[in-house]
Amino acid sequence: MATVVMVFGASLFLGWASPGAEAAPQTPNIVLLLMDDMGWGDLGVNGEPSRETPNLDRMAAEGMLFPDFYTANPLCSPSRAALLTGRLPIRNGFYTTNGHARNAYTPQEVVGGIQDSEFLLPELLKKAGYVNKIVGKCICEVPEMAWVPVSRHMGHRPQFHPLKHGFDEWFGSPNCHFGPYDNKARPNIPVYRNWEMVGRFYEDFPINLKTGEANLTQIYLKEAMDFIKQQAYKQPFFLYWAVDATHAPVYASKAFLGTSQRGRYGDAVREIDDSIGKILKLLQDLGIQENTFVFFTSDNGAALISAPSQGGSNAPFLCGKETTFEGGMREPAIAWWPGHISAGQVSHQLGNVMDLFTTSLSLAGLQPPGDREIDGIDLLPAITQGKLIDRPIFYYRGNEMMAIRVGLYKAHYWTWSNSWEEFSEGVDFCPGQNVSGVTTHNQEKHTELPLLFHLGRDPGEKYPISVSSPEYQAALHRISPIVEEHEKTMIPAAPQLNVCNPAVMIIDVKTWPLLGNVG
């Protein structure tokens, strides 16, 4: 089985060889399991009382749990772009200037996508001989003007396609399973196998909104397992498994519907947990578990606006998806790599989804691009040696740095949940969690005297530390230079998620055969 040899800071991994074959040096396979809107509090190992994630709990027991792991943005599209580029969304362009501190994702009415100047993780892994597959939701490509009526055989703009950015295979969709649409003002979201559109959600891939029944997770599981079996004894592989059953409208297959104490959302979690258990067992059955690095996390916090029937839990943290409070940004995270990670480890390393970019490159023996700022760090010293790397966590919402965490202290430079207008219409990102002066509905600026919390004593961000206390002064003395340096060196990319004017969203379908829909 694989061993690790450290040579002048580079890693050489001796991979598994099939019976009778001569062992040859091989970099490890990489499997990234990215959930959609799954909260920190959804896992039994993190305290969810129904204990309905036995496989993820076992994964943590056999590997390393990261209770202090974060996303790069509290919304799906920017978070996923950050993972694949190792860069904050404001650096890679996945943000908007349509408003201050506004979240943005990739619906139909957007004007951009991943820029050609960005290097995506699969592009770089190919240099080390990896075969790369994405299963599920890919928001690294944004078709411009995609909501106009199109035929069933139309795809999307080719320059944003994942196979143009290093993936060798793709089965999934360019966005979440929103819908159903009427195919007049906008079509249902397409599903692709590589370059070919093989159908659309709600039509060829049914989702019953009334019962919650859909077989998509089972389809995505089969795609993952077939790819692993195909590549097991060949060149190293990168599998990016990005399922979306826990994103509203949540769904599960018939065998899992009605099985959870938590309702339909819990059914979806149970099916995902079961699927991950099958993936890990397959790696063990094939004898490649010691040469396969697996990491589980989520793209952002649970969507409390959809809870409890259609959303998860961020307990014990404040608020959820869309916000830069802990519930929107802190994610469940587990690393699993038998033979390299001792069982039952817990690391309080501050981690971020962007670190998966740099860590994966390190596993492959590659260096990150040196011509740009990379925000992700290499977590291997924390994972394999138990080291703690001193680094800050920046909390961005759109074009604004809202907060920063340094050690156990978190300083809010801006606070905002959502607008009074949205809140009055029933849109609540922090249901039942109003904290006076913190979960504000106006954008409140605190740049002169940031709101400071100690996340060890106060993980729910309810008790700001007094600005006159020695503790406040000492913490700000450490935090302020980090913020100043960050702001001084920040060069925002051109925003790619600005909303397009529908008046110009007209296209000749005969001359653009690869246009499609994101949703």
Q: Are 157 and 124 in contact (CB under 8 A)?
A: no
Question: Is 153 an annotated catalytic residue?
Answer: yes
Q: Are 163 and 263 in contact (CB under 8 A)?
A: no
Q: Are 176 and 519 in contact (CB under 8 A)?
A: yes
DSSP per residue, 255-303: TTTT--TT-HHHHHHHHHHHHHHHHHHHHHHTT-GGGEEEEEEESS---
DSSP β-bridge partners for residue 196: 193
Residues annotated as binding site?
36-37, 76, 299-300
Residues annotated as binding site for Ca(2+)?
36-37, 76, 299-300
Cα 132 to Cα 163: distance, rounded to the nearest angstrom: 9
**Nearest residue to 472 via CA among 455, 452, 445, 447:** 452
> Computed over its alpha carbons, how large is the radius of gyration of the chain?
22
Which of 100, 153, 430, 446 is catalytic? The answer is 153
Which of 76, 138, 140, 319 is catalytic? The answer is 76
Question: Is 441 an annotated catalytic residue?
Answer: no
Instruction: List all residues 6 or more positions away from 67 whose beta carbon is below 8 Å from its beta carbon.
Output: 46, 333, 346, 348
Cα 343 to Cα 345: distance, rounded to the nearest angstrom: 6
Q: Are 87 and 354 in contact (CB under 8 A)?
A: yes
The phi, psi pair for 334, rounded to 5°, reads -140, 135
**Nearest residue to 85 via CA among 399, 490, 373:** 373
Four-CA torsion 33, 34, 35, 39, nearest 10 degrees: 100
Which residues are annotated as catalytic?
76, 153
